[in-house]
Amino acid sequence: MRVRFTLPGDRIATIEEFEGLDGVYQHSDGMLRASRVGKVTYDLKQRYVRVNGLKSILLPKVGDHVIGFVHMLTSNSANIRIVYINELRSDARFDAIYIGRGKIKVQNMFRVGDMVRAKVASILNGYIHVTFRDSNLGVIYTRCNQCGGEVVRLNAEEVKCVECNAVSSRKLAEDYGNVNALRCS
Ligand SMILES: [Zn+2]
């Protein structure tokens, strides 16, 4: 299940869909909205929704660098589980979304499991959208998608497996292979 976080005032559901419990209020527009920063939990059987508050939560902001791993891919989007915000570890399990707009399919830029560095482009109603436009953004660690072996960077868009020699496409960060890169620049 996708974990969504909320800021106060974010829309969560309509009053027809769910009953709001802790951390939720009913706005005059007929929407249930969050009354605090937290994570949304929907109980689909009982039709309840609540927002569990998060203590000392580190919220990503527009312009922040994030590091995370790709855990879902389609031809034009990637979901990234955030592990670091700037240089600070984040345990809140935020998901960032990347929507491809160029000619290159997102599934040719990444593979599931890749560690990537991205920049937060916008945050809209709890969804963190990221961009990979700069050369320091992209994959910072990946494995061969044929055999799981170690790969080396060939150029900005390709890696080669040292074990089976398979070449495959990635959108690589310029410092790919620098394992200190578990820090953002
Ligand atoms: Zn291989």
* Closest residue by Cα to residue 83 from 103, 65, 69, 62: 69
| Gap from CA of 178 to ligand 1 centroid (Å) | 20
Residue numbers of the domain that contains 24: 5-53
29 and 71 share one domain? no
| Gap from CA of 141 to ligand 1 centroid (Å) | 14
| Gap from CA of 164 to ligand 1 centroid (Å) | 4
74 and 164 share one domain? yes
| Gap from CA of 131 to ligand 1 centroid (Å) | 28
pLDDT at 185: 43
Cα 83 to Cα 96: distance, rounded to the nearest angstrom = 11
Q: Which amino acid, 114?
A: D
101 and 164 share one domain? yes
> Who has greater pLDDT, 17 or 9?
17
Q: Are 67 and 83 in contact (CB under 8 A)?
A: yes
43 and 109 share one domain? no
Single pTM value for the model? 0.71
* Closest residue by Cα to residue 70 from 127, 130, 121: 130
CA of 102: how far to CAs of 64, 131, 155, 174, in Å? 22, 12, 19, 19
User: DSSP state, 79?
Assistant: E
49 and 69 share one domain? no
| Gap from CA of 167 to ligand 1 centroid (Å) | 8
Question: What tens digit of pLDDT does each residue of 13-55 get?
Answer: 999 999 999 999 998 888 999 988 888 889 999 999 999 887 6
CATH code for the domain of 103: 2.40.50.140
Q: If DSSP codes are grouped into helix, strand and coil, which group holds residue 179?
A: helix
> Who has greater pLDDT, 103 or 78?
78
Domains in the chain, number = 2
